[in-house]
Amino acid sequence: MLLLPLAPSICGNCGIMPYRFADRMHCAPPSFLGKLFAVSTDPRIISFAGGLPSSAFIDVEGLADASRHVFDEEGREALQYSTTDGYLPLREFISRRYARRLGLSIPPDEIQIVNGSQQCLDLVAKIFLNRADPVAMERPGYLGAIEAFSLYEPSFHDVAFGTDGPDIDEFRHVIRECSPKFFYGIPNSQNPSGQTYTYEKRRAIAEVLEGSDTVFYEDDAFGELFFDGRPRRPIKALIPDLCILSGSFSKVIAPGMRIGWICAPKEILSQFNCAKQAADLHSNFLCQKVLSRYLATHDLDEHARRISTAYGQNCRLMCDLLDDQFPAGMAHTHPEGGMFLLATLPDGLDSMRVFEEGLKGGVAVLPGIPFYVSGGGNSTIRLNFSSMDDERIKEGMDRLARVVRALV
């Protein structure tokens, strides 16, 4: 008997395929990331909403030279499959840099290369979280982490974030009463606030975690970008066996290469390796080799200093414009580094309304709402100062000031 292919079944009521997606997909919060990238590509809009580093600091010529060298000298090897843990010379570079800059002893076999630090969020959640497991993070916290963790259906516990880091009393309560599998935080130039944990707060956090079974997940995406050029000692230096540390070359070399890393105790890294191997076998081996060659022939310290200096100037300009051009009641954080600041709107002004009216006025901001797991953010907006020059910042802030004044 001849079996004919079945026609696609169509839902009689709605006219669409009745796809049976996993229940966890209903737990994913509405994604702002797609909207951000769409807004960022519209030439009519000056966007402070995205998280782009400045394209002016991507060394296209240097990376092209490194690429030519790799193709000329080891092209076939670079285009082959490779190991899941990543290119050893690149991991050795990261290890040496930790030792020199931060006094951290992290051997290469405790470092694994990933597809940007964003992949770490997904894979760490995958190896730690069962449905309804407790996980803790800052309030407000990084929206990309909220989106990644939500797919594993955890129970979120958030801790208020102040000018010097998480509120230590709230932190202690959450760790002792809820016993989260891990606490996710960004101690350096936190996203969205731009603020940095003090050393005293880092030490207090380490003291609370000692003797617990909660891991501190330390996302250090912005650690190279302090305006004063001075690195801050990570929490991993205080509790190495209770800390996962992730980093990225996206902010200082090129985000399109998608190269980041994770440092963790061997027991954690073994589980992480299994999850990554199942996900993608390994990160882009060609990009790893090109990046390793580039880093061997260029001064990353000097390059990071140039970027940080420019971002510091942009941040100060934006802060001055917020102080000078906006109505009373507008407040903002004062970052020491990174790419973002968080502004609080005058009383009664809603961040979604500012977002919507801003687009009509040719300027985009990111409402604070997606940075909260338990509600909030209606009175705050995140502003990015890294992706444009002085004139664009001035013009964009002028447009935003007109929008805010019209709504007050």
d(CA 34, CA 338): 22
pLDDT digits (tens, 9 = 90+) for 331-369: 999 999 999 999 999 999 999 999 999 999 999 999 999
Reduced to 3 states (helix: H, G, I; strand: E, B; else coil), residue 19 is: coil
pLDDT of residue 172: 98
Q: 245 and 178 in one domain?
A: yes
pLDDT of residue 13: 58
307 in a structural domain: yes
Which of 297, 329, 354 terminates a domain? The answer is: 297
Q: 114 and 224 in one domain?
A: yes
pLDDT of residue 2: 38
pLDDT of residue 33: 64
Q: 255 and 156 in one domain?
A: yes
Which of 297, 312, 337 terminates a domain? The answer is: 297
277 in a structural domain: yes
CATH of the domain at 50: 3.90.1150.10
Q: 172 and 127 in one domain?
A: yes
Q: 319 and 293 in one domain?
A: no
pLDDT of residue 7: 44
Q: 125 and 169 in one domain?
A: yes
Q: 159 and 51 in one domain?
A: no
Contacts of 107 (CB under 8 A, 6+ apart): 95
pLDDT digits (tens, 9 = 90+) for 183-236: 999 999 999 999 999 999 999 999 999 999 999 999 999 999 999 999 999 999
State which residues form the domain around 91: 84-297
65 in a structural domain: no
Q: 131 and 102 in one domain?
A: yes
pLDDT of residue 3: 39
Low-confidence ranges of the chain (pLDDT < 50): 1-10
281 in a structural domain: yes
Contacts of 244 (CB under 8 A, 6+ apart): 120, 124, 182, 215, 216, 217, 218, 262, 263, 264, 268
Which of 267, 297, 327 terminates a domain? The answer is: 297
pLDDT of residue 25: 87
Domain count, the chain: 2
Q: 329 and 277 in one domain?
A: no
d(CA 85, CA 254): 21
Q: 241 and 212 in one domain?
A: yes
CA distances (Å), 210 to each of 175, 176, 203, 327, in order? Answer: 11, 11, 11, 46
pLDDT of residue 6: 42
249 in a structural domain: yes
d(CA 297, CA 290): 11
70 in a structural domain: no
Q: Which residue has the tokens 């996203």?
A: 191
Q: 324 and 207 in one domain?
A: no
Q: 152 and 186 in one domain?
A: yes
8 in a structural domain: no
pLDDT of residue 135: 98
CATH of the domain at 247: 3.40.640.10
d(CA 118, CA 251): 13
79 in a structural domain: no
pLDDT of residue 36: 67
